[in-house]
Structures are given as C-alpha cells and as structure tokens.
Structure 1
Amino acid sequence: MVEPTSSRYAEVYARWKADPQAFWAQAASDIEWVAQPRTVFDPDLGVYGRWFVGGVCNTCYNAVDRHVAAGRGGQVALIHDSPVTGSKSSLTYSELLAEVRTLGAILRDMGVEKGDRVVIYMPMVLEAVIGMLACARIGAVHSVVFGGFAAKELAARIDDAAPKVILAASCGIEPNRIVPYKPLLDAAIEMAEAKPTACLILQRPQLHGTLMAGRDFDWSERRAVAAGEGRGVDCAPMGATDPLYVLYTSGTTGKPKGVVRDTGGHMVALRWTMENLYGLKTGDVFWTASDVGWVVGHSYIVYGPLLMGCTSVVYEGKPVGTPDPGAFWRMIEKYKVAALFTAPTALRAIKKEDPEGTYLKGHDLSSLRTLFLAGERADPDTVKWAEATLNVPVVDHWWQTETGWAIAGNPVGLGLLPVKLGSPTVPMPGYDLQIVDEAAKPLPAGTMGSIVIKLPLPPGCLPTLWHQDERFAESYLAEFPGYYKTSDAGFVDEDGYVFVMGRTDDIINVAGHRLSTGGMEEVLASHPDVAECAVIGVKDSLKGEVPCGFVVLKAGERRAPDVIEKELVELVRERIGPVAAFKLALTVPRLPKTRSGKILRGTMKKIADSDPWTAPATIDDPGALEDITIILKRRGFGS
C-alpha cells in the first residue's frame, strides 16, 4: 500500500468525476474568451461530443498578446540554443508578438485565409514556432511535418492536408551532417497531387536551397519588407471547436492518420496541466527536449509554456555528441531551467556514455525542481539512475499523440504522490481509465488487459481524424463500445496506480500465457552492464511465440558479451520464472529508433519472423536495422 499523502489529487479527481462540466468550466476561466461558450460539453455534436461549443477565442492571443497586454512584454518567451550551429538567441514576448504579427501578414499576402492549411517542414529553429503561432493567429490550420522526413511521406501529408502554403527551411543540421530539406520538399511537391500555391523558405547559412520562380519566396526578404512597412495582423476570432492543427501520427501506412486538435479545449487542457501536473508558474523556464514535429513539441515546447507565460527553450541538439554527455546539464545551468521534460531514451543515451555522471560535475543544477519523462516506458533502472544523479523528483507520465496531454501522471502541482517504479502513477482528471478484457468487461486490480478510456475524452484530446470521421470511429471506438481504445496493455494495482506494459501487440502469447515484453525489459535493464534494451516476441512452432531480448551495453570495458547474455537469461528466469521461456539475449551495438526516440520493435519483429519489412520513414539511423538483421541471421532468425 502507498503511504498517506498530502497531495490534493484524490480530492481534485473526485471533484472532476462528480461534475465534469463544472470542473472544466472552472478550468476554462484561466483562458481569455472573446465570447463565452454556450455549453461546456455537447454530446450530440461530432463523433462523441464536442467541448466549449459556442465559445470564441484565439490561441495566439492567449499564448502571446495577453502577456504583453498584462505588462510582461519584456519577459523572455523563447530561448533558442543550437550547439550544432554554435548559435544562441532569444525573443521576449513583445518581440515574439511583433514577429508573429508580421508573418501573419505575409501569410495573408500569400492568400492564406481562416480554415486554410499550412504545412510547416522545419528544424528546431524559432521560425518554426513563429510559423505555428502565426497560423493560429489568422485561423489557418497548421500541420507540422518533422524536418527531414522522406519526400514520399511528406507528399502523403501534403495530399491529405492540401495546404495553400508551405513554410520550410533550406536544411537541417545533424551533429555530423547537413540534411538538405529543399530537394526533399521539391520532390514531395512533384509527387503530390495537391499543389501549394506558394512556399516560404528560410535560407539557413549552412546550405541555401534553390528557389523556384513564382512559387518559392525567401523568408528573410519577405519579413524585412513587411516589417519595414510596419505591417501586421490582429487575431482572428475562432470557434472553440475550430481546428487549430492537424498532426500526422508517425509510422502510418497507406493514407496517413491526421490527428485533429481543436482550439478551445486544447487551450483549457494545456493551461490546466502546466499548473497542476507540471507544477509551473508564470515566469518559470520550462525545457522540453523534443522536436516541434512531434506532439510533445506542440504541447510543451510551444503552446503549454506560452499559455502559462513561461519561458520555453527550443534546443537544436542531442543529449550526447553535441558536444558530449554533459549537454543537458549545461543547458539547465545556463538557462536556470525549472523543469526538464525528455524521453527515457535521452537519459539512457547519457547513462550509456557517462554512467558515473562525470560530466555533471561543476554544473549548478539548483534551479531544477523536476525531471519529467514520457514518450515510451520509463524503466525503473533509468529512473533510479536519474534520481540518484540529479537528486530531484523524476516523474514518469503517459500519453499519446491522440490525447495531446497526459492520460496518467504524478501531479506535481497538486502535490506529489509516492512513486512506484514502473508506473506513470494515476489517471489525470478527465480520464476514466479502465482495464478490460476482449469483451470490454472490466478486470480486477492487478490483472493485465487492454487500457481503455470511457467516453467522452476530455478537452484537448482529438475529436476526430482530419476528414475521416468513420476511420476515427473504426480505429479507436469500435472495438470497445463506449470507450476509446489506447492500443496499450497494462493493469491498475490495488492503489489505483497505472502500469503501462506496452502496446497491445507487445503482449506476447507464450504457450497460452499472456506476458508483457515491458516486464522483461524491466528485468534486463536492471543488469549493471545494460544501457538499454528491447524485447520482442518471435514466432515459435511449439509455443506460438518466444521472447527475444536485444541489449546495448554501457560504454567502457565490459566482460565478454556471451557471458552477459547468459546472465541476462538467468535473471529473467529468476525474476519472472520459467513461464517466460526466455532463452535468447543478444547484444547489439545500437537499437533501431525513430527520430523521437521510440524503439522500432515492430520492425525488429518482422525481421526476426522473416516477414516483409521496410525501414519506416521516421527511422533515425537505418544502419541499426542492418545490425539487427545480421545478428539475427547468425542466430538462425530472419530470411
């Protein structure tokens, strides 16, 4: 049982459950409205209902203008730090307002009106954030595509969104190479059936792109002219149910799934989380070490911090290699970061290169109050290492592109609950989370099943997919009537703590026993020589599936890999038991991951099972899949 706590979580969650509409109406009072909503929730609109119907508002006004109007225009809004280019810059709220007003005018000049789509294909530069806010200002729907995405994938998103204008940069910068974006953009437009009328190109000094006459325009030149003329636009009044953005989920096949985020509910939910979940206040420095191309970047690099009046850090670098494993500690010290939000993958990369925390020495991290983890399961070993290294609370929380904010977490602002390693803690207000079997019947505490959320979803979650209501209902709502399917599996313990053990396809069936690959990964990660790991189920003629573990060893002198592999097999046998049938642990130089740090377990499984596979467009390093293929072949797996 957990210890008694002074956290207000139980009281706040109970208040939400007793009267959801009153709860969210109160949260909505933190947003400035042009016109108040007629109703907090209308169950008869949309696929499952819509939030704040009749409300009129503007996201850019709430994120930028209102802070200037309140006399805080001199506060820094955005900090850009780019170790890959050796540059640093910042914008105050007043400066950000001027830039967004100017770009809004340029977009209007290009024919962009309320409801039109604008694709943003850019690296981690301030102009990407300015572009998102300018779209929100004039009522255009932005769709950010991760910079450097392959032309075919970009073309599929262009066809689905049908943008009037594309905002792009000439290139992105990686630690050891320059990635030319403009040729990828040109190829994507050539492939796409939907053609933009114009492209605004940010020419970066590291590599200029060739501009096509009549279609492509130089960002800096257009900005200089508009700013020189003092031109700008005011905020367009937007309905709360109008779309703010469309974000395509990574790794999709066929027609991409465009997650829609509405205007009013999104603001209400994110503003609530900044104070109550993240424990931040106006003026705090919040650093989310992600990318604006992912949902984490949308919610907590751009909109959440600015809605709260925080200073947000935009980082164009890596956790290691730019220049070393001390990069994060330098950032925290330099900018007096109050809270850092990153993925467990980033911490594992730092731990692998610097397990003893040598690069931490000499850095003053006294400003740091909390470290937040999300994006994948936070294994207990990494959490314990981070707690011991940084001496601050390490808060795991769990959410999805579709939800836009945390389904489950440990609410710092309401008072921390006792931590249970391996659990993102408890459901947030708004989420009636349940564990069910295949027939959608609730399961008792401690029993593994499908994690579902009772409808309606709270404000800020997707109301639908872009122009695909039927696909939304079929993909997320049909399998468990009355519930949203998370496609994650796990259990809730007797204290109400959620344990997310992996995607439902990461629950393997070994001779009739449903076993979590996440549980096995937890055991492997606890070995002192293991930096990171992944477990997949591979086909087996006798047992149906058997687990196979892939491990990356920590840097430095280590014992022979085959010795460590045997120890790992014994460790799983000891901790989980013979039922796991765990007999295969393979050391690999690196794990294949997406650019957002998610391990490509599904592709690894296809290789092991000799199924057809292709490298996903989101992959960070294709060579990692070649490593996996060679190592599996040596052990008799794969074709």
Structure 2
Amino acid sequence: RDAFWREQAALIHWQRAFKQVLDYSRPPFARWFVGGETNLCHNAIDRHLAARAEQKALVWISTEVNETRSFTYRELHAEVNRTAAMMQSLGVKRGERVIIYMPMIPEAAFAMLACARLGAIHSVVFGGFAAASLAARIDDARPALMITADGGSRMGKPVLYKSLVDESLKVAKHPPRKVLMFRRGLDPKMPVVADRDVDWATLAQDFTGASVACAWLESNEPSYILYTSGTTGQPKGVQRDVGGYAVALASSMKYIFCGEPGETMFTTSDIGWVVGHSYIIYAPLLAGMTTIMYEGVPIRPDAGIWWQIVQDHKVSVMFSAPTAIRVLKKHDVSFLRKHDLSSLKHLFLAGEPLDEPTHQWIAESLGRPVIDHYWQTETGWPLLSAQPAVEKTPIKLGSPSFPVYGYDVRLLHEQTGRPVPDGEKGVVAIAPPLPPGCMSTVWGDDERFVNTYFRDFKGELIYSTFDWGIRDKDGYYYILGRTDDVINVAGHRLGTREIEEAVNMHPNVAECAVVGVVDPLKGQMPLAFAVLKDGGKPTSAEDVMRTVDRKLGAIARPKAVHFVSLLPKTRSGKTLRRAIQALAEGRDPGDLTTIEDPTALTQIREALRS
C-alpha cells in the first residue's frame, strides 16, 4: 500500500517531501503523507503556468443570464491572487474559516482557490440555503469572513440572497466580522450594512495585479469543511485534508476519468456539493484540463443545451447525475443526436443509484461508455467505479462496477457484521484506514466522527456507508439504497430502491419514488409516486402494479400508485423520500430548505387525499 501511494504522490508538487506515507497509529484516524508540505492552489494553477499559461482553465456558461466568460490559466492565476489579496485585506489568516455562499459564478471559484492559496479553510454553503441552516453552519465553522452575492438564478428567475444572509447573521451566535458581496445586478435595491458589508468590485480595484504567495501546508492540515445535507440537529462538517486529497484527485483523473492535460471536462454539478468541489474546481485543474462551470438547468433553453456545450467546447470527459438523465429521458432523443459528440470519451454518472432503463437509454443514445460510479461527500472521490485506464472491463447496466484501488470494501450482514455471500444484500463498508482523499474527521468533533461512521459493527472499527449493496458472481457491485430505506412487509425486508427499479420498468414511467408507510396489517407497505413520460397515454395504477408483480412478485406490490407531474427533490437532484414518507404517514415533513420546487409536495399531499 505504501509503495502504491508513494507512486501516486509523485503526481503533485511537494514543496517539502513527506517523511511517512501513512501514520495509522490512532485508528480510525489516518494521516497521509506526513510532514509533506504542499498547496492545492499551487497544484491547480501555478505549476501549469510554464506549459499552459494561455490554455483556457475555466469556462463559465450561464443559460440563466445568457453570458459566457472564460479564463486562461494566466488570467485565473491573476484573479485568484487578487481575490486572495482582497481576503487578506479583510483580515483573513491561515487556518481561519471562510463561508462561501455563492451561485455558480466564476467569483465562487476564485474565492475557493484563494482560500486554498492562503491556507484558509473554505466552507461552501449551497446558494439559496435557508437562513436557519446557514446560521447553524456559521456557528459550527465560526468564520472570519463570508463571501456572497446579491443572488443566483433558477429557470430565469432571480433567487435573492441578501435577506437570507442578513437574517442568518442576526440569528448566528458567531457571525463573521465582514461580508464580501459580489453584485450581479440581480438585486438593485439590495440593503447594505455599514462597517460589515464590503463591495467586491470596489475592493477589487485596489488589488489589480496583486501577488500573494502560496501558504505551504502540512499534508494533514484542513483544506475545507463541507456540511452534509439531511442531518438533524447540529450540522455535520466533513473535514478534508490537503495532501491526501490532492493525490487522490490527481490519481482519479488519470486512472478513472482518463482526463488528459489540455482536454476539457464538463461536470454538471454545483460547487455547493462535493462533486463540484472535487470535479468542477480541483481535479480538472490539477490535471491541467479546461473545466466548464455551468449555471443553468439541463432543459433550458431546450433539452439539447448540455450536448451543445459538449460539441462547442469539445468536451472529452463529462460527469452528471442519474436524476438529470431521467429528466432528459422525458425529451426527444433528437436533442442529443443533432450534436457532434465525437470528442466525448465517456459519461460518468453518480449521486444516487442509476436504474437500468435510464442507464440503457443514455448509453444507447450516446453510443459512448456510460460509467455509473458511487461515492459520498465523506469519501471525496469514487469508491466504486470502472477504472478504464487500469483495465477496460465490460459495463453492466445499473452497476458501479468494482471497488476503486485504495479502498478495502466489504459487504457485511447488518446484524452479525460478517461478510455476506455473493447475491446477498449487505451493508457497504470499508475496512480502515480510509484511503487518501477521504474525510479526516468531523470538524471540531473527533468523537462524532468515530461514533457516526465506525460504530455500526460491534467489536470492530469498520466504516459504514449506510448503503445497502449486493455483489454478483462476477464481482460487480450494485447499490440498493440507504440502509434506512428498507421496509418490512409482513416479515419480508424490501429495499424501496428495488421497488422503484421495478416501477421504472413500466414503459410509460419516467421516474418514481417509493416509500414505506405504516400498515396495521403488514407492518409496512410500499407506496409509489410516479411521473409519466407521456401524461396523455392512458396508464393505470393496476398496470404499474402488474409490472412490479412480474419483476419482484406480489409481496413488493405497492399499496397504491399515485401519478404526479414532478417529484420533490433537493436542488442537487436527490429525491426527498423522507418528506414524502412523512406526508404519507401524516407527519411533519421537517426541514425543506433544500427543496427545488415546493409545488411538488403540494402534489403529493393532493395525491394522498384523492
């Protein structure tokens, strides 16, 4: 193991060589590349200036405000230096936290990279998060500075941030000293708080041409905190290191994503999520690629916009989510086929389990390998994936293939903790030490890190992903959904994702959500909510139930199938199953700050009443 990771470590620049590959003297805490000093910003930008200063580094495309801006490595270097100097002038020091509450605009990328340059710890909070959620994250991180904008935009409608920012800072017990505010012109009447709010453009004028040296950080110092969504109570800040993360990302670009220097990568995520951190900002730049940052949705101005970007920018590596592909599947395939996609090597999908029909549709439509892969905020980079540069393995529909190098993946029985045989469902777990790139701890709470992730299997420190998986006889893994998405129907344990997969097999179902609801007779029963591909085509609940009967047997038949025009989802595309379940059981749906479209819940309520 040490020899392998020592080899991978050569993919990045070390200002000071590390003394030890791995220090695992305090399980389950792993310290990688001990004593080595490096900097994420230097590796992402500065070290490429000699060879590719005039190559595009960042291309920003917004279909929300119909604007495109691009920056070469030289221009990005200048912008990041200027932003770092602005932050220094506002008192930000190495090791201090900076909350970035920004839409998908280039300035958000400058701010993240400037934090890395200074050795400040960024915590990006998804733009548009509710004030109370933002305040909780502020109080946990205790930032010196907050960087924000007057607003984002969604489907052409402005989403204004300032009232949310002001409200969160009133509620927070540890508000930052200063707020750096980028004005996009979306909120002309925006109120300003004297002595606290600083205008980005005004301050930037003072630092044109500024040069700020990179802070050389010991490999295990924190690079950033990213709060995981859906946690109740105290927010859970995933803390990442510097050196291990840089090495893992650089290695993943080489062996998994196959991104070469000078090529272009298009990741359709948001910087508020881990995919945006790893594969919009850091990894493509570490690899000397051009990265595309997209503000918009996949179907506006039409369902061909992403494929047009692939064509126009000769994208070779694309990364998206199953949800987005399911949205595109409802539209005519001609939107995809009319573009020249010859530059595209492959499409990677992650974020939730990929169902077979969607995998088949996109693979056939593109005529390119579509690689499902699986990971988490906590791991920072893929855990299960095909690794095309290591070995070209056949793709199985709906499977994220195999464990990635560096991960000792186990499938364990949830009660005994023993390995389960092939073909049997188990909890996907990782025997520590976790490889480079994974979370180091929970910010400010080592005990919580151990108790949350390593205490599921008695007597042994094993990391639990909280996901069910199954491995077939060829060694391919399939993810069946969260361990809390299992329902017990008359003593039979069924994964709601398995039932969803069966419902999705109906030819007129575009997507669905299945939740377990309390049933006086059977303990629990599945309830399905389905979105039809063609609402004009007669489709009955009975039709859908028969499809489930054929796939899984009558035991998995939903109690009812309700048809809706959209499912409640977070802005990152995850279906809010817990909220649906709460409504179905007559409970309060809880914190809905991340919901994309509140009318989706209204439809669920009405469907339940009918």
Q: TM-score if structure 1 supplies the norm length?
A: 0.93
Matched, 1:197 2:177: yes
Matched, 1:214 2:190: no
Residue 429 of structure 1 aligns with an amino acid whose one-letter code is Y
Q: Which of 488, 494, 497 in structure 2 is aligned with 1:515?
A: 494
Task: Render the CA deviation track for 1:252-276: whole Å, top value 9, x for unaligned.
Answer: 2111000001001000001010110
Matches within 5 A, 1:178-189: 178-189=158-169
Task: Render the CA deviation track for 1:172-196: whole Å, top value 9, x for unaligned.
Answer: 1111411111111111111100021
Superposition deviation, residue 238 in structure 1: 0.3
Q: The residue matched to 1:523 in structure 2 has which SS?
A: helix
Superposition deviation, residue 107 in structure 1: 0.9
> Unpaired runs of 5+ in structure 2?
none
Could you say which residue in structure 1 is the equivalent of 2:438?
A: 461
1:155 and 1:390 map into 2 onto residues whose CA distance is 43
1:448 and 1:159 map into 2 onto residues whose CA distance is 40
Superposition deviation, residue 248 in structure 1: 0.3
Task: Render the CA deviation track for 1:589-634: whole Å, top value 9, x for unaligned.
Answer: 1100000000011111111122332242111111111111221122
Partners of 2:548 and 2:557 within 8 A in 1: no
Partners of 1:422 and 1:499 within 8 A in 2: yes
Could you say which residue in structure 2 is the equivalent of 1:223?
A: 204
Matches within 5 A, 1:24-423: 24-45=5-26, 47-68=28-49, 70-208=50-188, 209-227=190-208, 230-320=209-299, 322-352=300-330, 354=331, 356-423=332-399
Residue 318 of structure 1 aligns with an amino acid whose one-letter code is V
Task: Render the CA deviation track for 1:233-262: whole Å, top value 9, x for unaligned.
Answer: 010010100000000001221110000010
2:230 and 2:65 map into 1 onto residues whose CA distance is 29
2:389 and 2:577 map into 1 onto residues whose CA distance is 35
Partners of 1:511 and 1:545 within 8 A in 2: yes
> Unpaired runs of 5+ in structure 1?
1-19, 635-639
Q: Which of 398, 421, 432 in structure 2 is aligned with 1:444?
A: 421
Higher mean C-alpha displacement, 393-402 vs 438-447: 438-447
Superposition deviation, residue 440 in structure 1: 1.1
Could you say which residue in structure 2 is the equivalent of 1:579?
A: 555
Could you say which residue in structure 2 is the equivalent of 1:622?
A: 598
Superposition deviation, residue 556 in structure 1: 5.8
Q: The residue matched to 2:249 in structure 1 has which SS?
A: helix
Q: The residue matched to 1:99 in structure 2 has which SS?
A: helix
Residue 177 of structure 1 aligns with an amino acid whose one-letter code is K
Residues 512 and 397 of structure 1: CA distance in aligned 2, closer, same or farther (over 3 Å)? same
1:193 and 1:137 map into 2 onto residues whose CA distance is 28
1:415 and 1:543 map into 2 onto residues whose CA distance is 47
Superposition deviation, residue 557 in structure 1: 3.0
2:569 and 2:499 map into 1 onto residues whose CA distance is 19
Could you say which residue in structure 2 is the equivalent of 1:431?
A: 407
Residue 147 of structure 1 aligns with an amino acid whose one-letter code is G
Identity %: 46
Superposition deviation, residue 452 in structure 1: 0.8
Q: Over the residues paired in the alignment, what is the CA RMSD in angstroms?
A: 1.2
Partners of 2:28 and 2:433 within 8 A in 1: no
Higher mean C-alpha displacement, 508-517 vs 457-466: 508-517
2:338 and 2:466 map into 1 onto residues whose CA distance is 44
Superposition deviation, residue 301 in structure 1: 0.2
Could you say which residue in structure 2 is the equivalent of 1:539?
A: 518
Higher mean C-alpha displacement, 615-624 vs 500-509: 615-624
Matched, 1:21 2:8: no
Task: Render the CA deviation track for 1:122-148: whole Å, top value 9, x for unaligned.
Answer: 000000001000000000000000001
Higher mean C-alpha displacement, 149-158 vs 475-484: 475-484
1:575 and 1:204 map into 2 onto residues whose CA distance is 51
Task: Render the CA deviation track for 1:25-77: whole Å, top value 9, x for unaligned.
Answer: 11001110011111111012474221111111011000000000x32111100
Could you say which residue in structure 1 is the equivalent of 2:447?
A: 470
Matched, 1:568 2:544: yes
Q: The residue matched to 2:164 in structure 1 has which SS?
A: helix
Superposition deviation, residue 362 in structure 1: 3.1
1:509 and 1:22 map into 2 onto residues whose CA distance is 46
Q: The residue matched to 2:573 in structure 1 has which SS?
A: coil
2:195 and 2:485 map into 1 onto residues whose CA distance is 50
Aligned residue pairs total: 606
1:100 and 1:578 map into 2 onto residues whose CA distance is 59
Task: Render the CA deviation track for 1:195-232: whole Å, top value 9, x for unaligned.
Answer: 211111100022243222111111111112210xx322
1:509 and 1:527 map into 2 onto residues whose CA distance is 24
Partners of 2:407 and 2:435 within 8 A in 1: yes
Matched, 1:590 2:566: yes
Q: The residue matched to 2:512 in structure 1 has which SS?
A: strand
Partners of 1:343 and 1:374 within 8 A in 2: yes
Partners of 2:27 and 2:433 within 8 A in 1: no
2:487 and 2:18 map into 1 onto residues whose CA distance is 47
Partners of 1:615 and 1:622 within 8 A in 2: no
1:310 and 1:462 map into 2 onto residues whose CA distance is 25
Partners of 1:251 and 1:618 within 8 A in 2: no
Partners of 1:251 and 1:616 within 8 A in 2: no
Superposition deviation, residue 422 in structure 1: 1.8
Higher mean C-alpha displacement, 134-143 vs 485-494: 485-494
